[in-house]
């Protein structure tokens, strides 16, 4: 390749990298938990690099105890992690697929793959540490 062609290739590479960085920076990370359903589950775990899904039900006491913890985590980790909440009574396909038999069950997805799983209520500090371990 000529020097002019090399310069053109480098210019195109730079434009592509800049565009990818702009898209990453403009991606909206919600500051509150998002509702995850059987219908939007795949899209959610593929759209964001790190997603913590809380499988819960309205009648579950420990699940209710986790609500403020999940809200705080979503706010504190905005831009790094998306917190999703899936009601197991309204959505049965995905919980069945991931063998959720006890609630609350928290499943952490990194780039669409399960990297951690916790059953039962957890404290904010413990969950924050788990998230921090997977941010790198």
Which residues have CB under 8 Å from 95's CB, separation 6+? 55, 86, 88, 105
Domain residue extents for the chain: 1-29, 31-134
Per-residue model confidence as pLDDT tens digits over 24-35? 444 688 999 999
Instruction: Locate all alpha helices (DSSP H) within the chain, ordered by sequence.
Output: 3-26, 41-47, 61-76, 93-97, 124-134
Residue 118 backbone dihedrals phi, psi, to 5 degrees: -135, 135
Q: What CATH number does the domain located at 31-134 have?
A: 3.40.30.10
End-to-end CA distance of the chain: 38
Residues with active-site annotation: 60, 63
Indicate the pTM of the whole model: 0.79
Task: List pLDDT tens digits, range 42-90.
Answer: 999 999 999 999 999 999 999 999 999 999 999 999 999 999 999 999 9
Say how many C-beta atoms besides its own lie within 10 A of residue 80's C-beta: 14
């Amino acid at each position: 390749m000529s020097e002019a062609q090399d310069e053109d290739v480098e210019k195109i590479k730079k434009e592509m990298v800049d565009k990818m960085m702009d898209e990453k920076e403009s991606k909206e990370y919600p500051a509150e938990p998002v509702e995850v359903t059987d219908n939007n589950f795949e899209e959610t775990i593929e759209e964001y690099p790190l997603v913590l899904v809380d499988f819960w039900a309205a009648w579950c006491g420990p699940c209710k105890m986790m609500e403020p913890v999940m809200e705080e985590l979503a706010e504190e980790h905005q831009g790094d992690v998306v917190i999703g909440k899936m009601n197991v009574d309204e959505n049965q396909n995905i919980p069945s697929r991931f063998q959720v038999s006890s609630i609350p069950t928290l499943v952490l997805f990194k780039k669409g793959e399960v990297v951690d799983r916790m059953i039962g209520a957890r404290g904010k500090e413990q969950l924050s540490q788990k998230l921090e371990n997977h941010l790198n």
